Structure 1
Amino acid sequence: MPRPRKWKRVCNMPKVNTFGPCIEDNDITGAIQMTVEEFETIRLIDHEGLNQEQCSEIMGIGRSTVQRLYEKARRKIADSIVNGKVLKIEGGDYRVCSDLESGNACEKCIRNRYRRGRNI
């Protein structure tokens, strides 16, 4: 029996979930699918400037998992840019912080860092 997947913590969903060349006939065959947790690793590491260990603490997963997600995400972004493919962000094994039942589940959430004036 396979090991159950671990849910990854995501602070918020992407504002835009489709990127790529303008396609007039809405033909997006051959689109690349990036999972929400891959997007979150790119956001935390490249946009927020965190390292992989800090990213793993926020997402509630191991550093090696973050490394794999980050590598996959960068490869997909490169494929999209170099080959002119549409990149869609959807799916994955994640939970949005605001959807978690525990009141303090979002303690390390990047959104709360700015609200509370704390650094990670």
Structure 2
Amino acid sequence: MPRPRKCRRVCSLPKNTSFGPVSSTDTENNTIIMSIDEFETIRLIDFEGMLQEECAEKMDVARTTVQRIYNEARLKIAKSLVNGYILKIEGGDVKLCDEAETWCGCKRCHKKKCCEGKDKSSLNNSL
């Protein structure tokens, strides 16, 4: 029996969840799904400038897990750009930062703007 997946902690949901060419007509076959935890690794490592170790601590997972998630996310972005596919961000085993936390660890915490009171079940249902 496989080990249960550990929820990854994320600061907030992305403001925009769909990216791609405007002229795309066949969206069902030309769509790549990126999970919220993959988006979070891109945001933390590439946008916030964190090291993989810092990202792993922030997301409450092992560094090797962050490395795997990050590599998968970059491949999805590359496929979307090169092939002109739509990239959608949705789902994944994630939990949002706790509102009780005074500081979640990133420079641009958006948790109060877009995810007040949401838990994992409402997160997966809202996307």
Q: Please indicate the TM-score interval, normalised by the length of the shorter structure.
A: 0.7 to 0.9
Q: How far 1:3 moved relative to its partner?
A: 1.0
Whether 1:109 and 2:109 are equivalent positions in the alignment is: no
Task: Extract unaligned runs of 5+ from structure 2.
Answer: 111-127
SS of the equivalent of 2:33 reads: strand
Q: How far 1:2 moved relative to its partner?
A: 2.0
Please name the residue that 2:27 is paired with: 28
TM-score (norm 1): 0.82
User: Matched residue pairs, number?
Assistant: 107
Task: Extract unaligned runs of 5+ from structure 1.
Answer: 113-120
Q: Does the 8 Å contact 1:38/1:70 carry over to 2?
A: yes
Please name the residue that 2:13 is paired with: 13
Please name the residue that 2:115 is paired with: none
Please name the residue that 1:3 is paired with: 3
Q: Does the 8 Å contact 1:80/1:86 carry over to 2?
A: yes
Whether 1:44 and 2:64 are equivalent positions in the alignment is: no
Q: 1:64-103, aligned counterparts within 5 Å? A: 64-97=64-97, 100=98, 103=100
The root-mean-square deviation of aligned C-alpha atoms, in Å, is: 1.8
Aligned residue type for 2:21:
P
Q: Does the 8 Å contact 1:57/1:108 carry over to 2?
A: no
SS of the equivalent of 1:12 reads: coil
Identity in percent: 53
